[in-house]
Amino acid sequence: MPEPAPGLAMNAGPMTQTLDQIPVNALKGVGATLAEKLAKIGLFSLQDLLLHLPLRYLDRTRITPIGALQPNLNAVIEAEVRACDIVLGKRRSLVCRVQDGTGTLTLRFYHFNNAQKQRLVAGARLRVFGETRRGAAGLEMYHPEYDFLAGASPLPLEQTLTPIYPATEGLTQPRLRSLAQQALTWLDKHPLRELLPETVRRRLNQCTLADALRYLHQPPVGANVQQLLEGEHPYQQRLAFEELLAHHLSLLLLRRETQADGAPRLRLTPALEHGFLKQLGFQLTRAQQRVVAEIAEDLAKPLPMLRLVQGDVGSGKTVVAALAALAAVASGKQAAVMAPTEILAEQHRLNFGKWLEPLGIQVGWLTGRLKSGERRYQLEMIAAGTAQVVVGTHALFQDAVAFADLGLVIIDEQHRFGVHQRLSLSEKGQVDGALAGVVRPHQLIMTATPIPRTLAMSAYADLDCSVIDELPPGRTPVTTVVISDNRREEVIERVRLACEQGRQAYWVCTLIEESEALEAQAAQATADSLAQSLPQLRIGLVHGRLKLAEKESVMAGFKAGELDLLVATTVIEVGVDVANASLMIIENPERLGLAQLHQLRGRVGRGSAASHCVLLYGSPLSNNSRERLRVMRESSDGFYIAEQDLLLRGPGEVLGTRQTGDMQFKIADLQRDSHLLPDVKNAALLLMSEHPQVSQLIVQRWLGQNQRYLQV
Ligand code: ADP
Ligand code: MG
């Protein structure tokens, strides 16, 4: 019988415990305090410790001649001290010159004591470990570690690469290293269950999880450090695959869990549909019709819909959403429509009001900025079911909001919401029927940020996807030019000309810092200076600091043609729809992501006039920025732009909160490892259908405490 784990209760049964069942305090030297620190970074079991992988490695296995050193490199050298002096510069420092026959190097210490200085005498021999940097007189190391070499007996070198772990307050590298090493010795006696099915593993490469972990915590001398640093080592790829799989599975499990509940069947009546379409004033595009049909089919089923609608800016998602909401109303249910900003929510309120109220449908309204009386009134309407469609912001999530009978949740601009926020809204509508079981609302998610296919596959595995891949007719493409800030005068002149010809223009000021106040200030200054240069124009200003009513009146003025030029912060990104505006200037576009620029630019080119977008950059531009602005100039295809954004900025930025909030990877990198995604997807489907138990174990292993998908 295997010996029981030390420090654990004896009632664990005759089976050998697996490492996920053994808590960190089974290790030597781990008491309550340390266990608490480890818990802070999500490390509870020995399995967690083993999956806490090094970020990078130092090579202390060999000695580098000084002459072969490069800047910004970690290296071990052996050398003799030539001189050691206290230098009084901006900061007092101890400067020690060493040489090894191939070159000389400066060691610099800002914190030092007398004893240290006295031992570093000329002729002393040292082994030094540190990172090189370029100094005024050749290479230097700041605060290197060093040992004295005494006599003939050489100091032993490290036998493996030295791992550097992600750490937090109070957890030093030596401590983390020793914990990992101890955990590895447990790995010999206690299995770490191999969860990938044989068929999947054979396709990847033969190595087991245990092999990969042993190697990655202690790469042997001669391991390919470069490959390890880049995360391209086969062992890393083996783990990245399993981690990506875990994320994918968590979404599939979430989907299955959601769909285990029922949903109300929602059907549009022909009369209502006809009435709606008749008063629109335009025909739906073929793409809109197709997506409307896909949604209708989902809504008619007694299973909660989980559908993402992707459609470029201006492709007409709102009307598609309105038709879905209409189906809810036709079936006696409520629909909630949530937008990420006040302005976008207002735009929806106006559109939904315009389209639905003539049909006798009541549209409710809820944002964080309502006065208390109005708020109470709206909450009552929502609770009573009088408000059949409710438009709002995050305020719709609040506990005080109780829907009478919510059948459909529509979320616009999904990339700004995390999966958990989405869920919390869907749980609002959850009702326990005595006979029917749990019923939850359908979910429709709309995004104007096209997501590259590979990413979508992974980040939205829980959603079905519809694409509106056609713009309404009569749009003229926007011509984009990239101009340096020192030609500002010409650009201002261009604004004057456009407005003189009866067109309208936007001037967008981008965020300087993450501060609404500063941004508002900058926009004000720009508006003032433009007013001086263009006294003949009627200029309006909107920014996030204005009162809702002020903002509304400025926007209304612009829409009515009472203003020629609208100076704005990026608050106009979404929701503004003025067909006569045909020129947009974006200042410092290099500060924004491509997706956001694309969104902004989508505000012009909505009418039949030829439209222009001027990207007025602050020079000098970095190469990456130059490249990104080139993409904007050359393309107006949202999907292409998103792919390029992914290449140039990485998935974190492209996916926004969803990535940062929900998809934190230990080892995988969506971009680097995107070639794994098709196999990940197949493996996930296989596991879900043939080994559901294992699916849950994989999720638990990698997402552990961070996930909430496992209420079996
Ligand atoms: P987005 O997909 O960016 O949310 P909107 O729903 O705001 O786009 O639609 C952009 C504009 O196009 C709106 O003024 C809308 O009324 C109009 N629109 C939508 N569908 C059509 C269509 N089929 N034909 C003509 N105009 C349309
Ligand atoms: Mg929209």
Say if residue 400's pLDDT is above 60.
yes
Nearest Cα to 335, choosing from 382, 397, 395? 382
Mutation pick for ligand 1 pocket among 349, 475, 577, 603 (CB with most ligand atoms within 8 Å): 577
Span 86-123, pLDDT tens digits: 998 888 999 999 999 999 999 999 989 988 899 999 99
Ligand 2 mean position to 387 CA, how many Å? 22
Say if residue 142's pLDDT is above 70.
yes
Span 492-504, pLDDT tens digits: 999 999 999 999 9
Query: Is the CB–ligand 1 distance for residue 450 below 6 Å?
Result: no
Ligand 1 mean position to 320 CA, how many Å? 9
Query: Is the CB–ligand 1 distance for residue 314 below 6 Å?
Result: yes
Sequence-distant (≥ 6) Cβ neighbours of residue 656 within 8 angstroms: 415, 416, 449
Query: Is the CB–ligand 1 distance for residue 367 below 6 Å?
Result: no
Q: Distance (Å, rounded) from C-alpha 41 to C-alpha 167?
A: 8
Q: Which residues on adjacent β-strands are paired with residue 542?
A: 568
β-pairing, 464-468 vs 306-311, is parallel
**Cβ–Cβ < 8 Å for 411, 426:** no
Angle between helices 488-500 and 516-533 (to 10 degrees): 70
Q: What is the DSSP annotation of 98-166?
A: EE-SS-EEEEEESS--HHHHHHS-TT-EEEEEEEEEEETTEEEEES-EEEE--SSPPPPPPSBPEEE--
pLDDT value for 657: 38
Q: Distance (Å, rounded) from C-alpha 342 to C-alpha 25?
A: 49
Instruction: Return the percentage of the chain with pLDDT > 90, whole number.
Output: 45
If DSSP codes are grouped into helix, strand and coil, which group holds residue 484? strand
CA 217 to chain centre: 28
CATH for 270-468, among 3.40.50.300, 3.30.43.10, 3.90.1720.10, 2.60.120.260?
A: 3.40.50.300
* pLDDT band per the 50, 70, 90 thresholds, residue 526: very high
Where exactly are the structural domains of the chain?
62-148, 270-468, 478-635
Domains 270-468 and 478-635 share a fold: yes
Mutation pick for ligand 1 pocket among 289, 292, 318 (CB with most ligand atoms within 8 Å): 318
pLDDT value for 485: 92
User: What value does the mean pLDDT take over residues 205-221?
Assistant: 86
Say whether pTM exceeds 0.85: no
Query: Is the CB–ligand 1 distance for residue 577 below 6 Å?
Result: yes
**Cβ–Cβ < 8 Å for 8, 17:** yes
* pLDDT band per the 50, 70, 90 thresholds, residue 564: very high
62-148 has CATH 3.10.310.30 classification:
no
Q: Distance (Å, rounded) from C-alpha 107 to C-alpha 97?
A: 6
Query: Is the CB–ligand 1 distance for residue 607 below 6 Å?
Result: no
Identify the CATH number of the domain defined by range 478-635. 3.40.50.300
> Residue 438 is which amino acid?
V
User: What value does the mean pLDDT take over residues 374-387?
Assistant: 96
pLDDT value for 663: 52
Q: Distance (Å, rounded) from C-alpha 605 to C-alpha 611?
A: 5
Query: Is the CB–ligand 1 distance for residue 273 below 6 Å?
Result: no
Query: Is the CB–ligand 1 distance for residue 310 below 6 Å?
Result: no
pLDDT value for 374: 95
pLDDT value for 550: 86
Q: Distance (Å, rounded) from C-alpha 124 to C-alpha 309?
A: 71
Query: Is the CB–ligand 1 distance for residue 317 below 6 Å?
Result: yes
